[in-house]
Amino acid sequence: MATSRTYEDSCGVAHALELVGERWALLVVRELTLGPKRFGDIKDGLPGISANVLSHRLDELEQAGLVTRRKLPKPAAVWVYDLTAWARDLEPIMQTFGRWAARDPQHRKDLHFGTTSLILSLRTNFDPSLAEGAHLVIALRPNDETYVATVARKKLTIEAGEAPAADATIAGDPRAFAAVTYGGRPLADAVGTGDLVVTGNMASAELFLHLYTLPPAAGA
């Protein structure tokens, strides 16, 4: 178990909550889903957490076999936290969990929405039915981080890295991405105000940002 707290229940759901059910634990896992991070970078992605609580959660997740800590080789030579292979199996679970919660009509869209949340939401809500015939390579630069998104054969992959031969590059704040992708804001409006910057083929950027579908609201 990640902590000494126990439900005294052998159900797998109960044990899962013992592993990642502590406050902030699953969000720490979320922040590490795209790759290793330094302590400060994890904290930047979770603005509501204190350094003390984050330290405790990381220790507990490490004891549970979900997180490892290692030192990067020179010239970086910094300590980072990373998920174990077992912990990486949580991504599809978090995707299902997130789509379930997104059905809440009271889900607030005006709160913090970081880069990791944006990338995982795109992976989660990609709708293959909207990608018929689409072949795209898009460079994404949310908050100056760099990712390559590829759409081909009605599948989406997004990985960290550069895309020198991209059809388009889209840069800006993750919430501006979300406003266009999920909130119905026209891309031209976001570009006109400078909230998003698009270079390359505007039509490719427009298509890419509209390949996603949120689940219907609960009760709808």
CA-CA distance, 172 to 123, in Å (whole number)? 18
Residue 3 reports pLDDT greater than 80: no
CATH class of 115-208: alpha beta
Region 61-90: what's the mean pLDDT? 94
Higher pLDDT pick, 69 / 76: 69
Mean pLDDT of the chain: 95
CA-CA distance, 142 to 118, in Å (whole number)? 8
Q: What is the pLDDT of residue 1?
A: 59
Q: What is the pLDDT of residue 127?
A: 98
Contact 136, 150 (CB under 8 A): yes
Residue 220 pLDDT grade (very low, low, confident, very high; cuts 50, 70, 90) = low
Global pTM value: 0.93
Residue 69 pLDDT grade (very low, low, confident, very high; cuts 50, 70, 90) = very high
Q: What is the pLDDT of residue 139?
A: 98
CA-CA distance, 202 to 164, in Å (whole number)? 16
Residue 73 reports pLDDT greater than 90: no
> Which residue's entry shows tokens 């990486």?
88
Every domain of the chain and the residues it spans: 12-89, 115-208
CATH class of 12-89: mainly alpha
Q: What is the pLDDT of residue 197?
A: 98
50 burial (CB, 10 Å; 0-12 / 13-18 / 19+) is exposed
CA-CA distance, 96 to 26, in Å (whole number)? 14
How far apart, in Å, do the first and last CA atoms of the chain sit? 39
Residue 2 reports pLDDT greater than 70: no
Asked whether this chain's domains 12-89 and 115-208 adopt the same fold, the reply is: no
66 burial (CB, 10 Å; 0-12 / 13-18 / 19+) is buried
Parallel, antiparallel, or unpaired for β 168-172 and 136-142? parallel
Region 51-63: what's the mean pLDDT? 97
* C-beta neighbour count of 139 within 10 angstroms: 22
Is the omega angle on the peptide bond into residue 128 within 30 degrees of 0, that is, cis? no
Q: What are 112-135's pLDDT values in tens digits?
A: 999 999 999 999 999 999 999 999
Residue 151 reports pLDDT greater than 70: yes
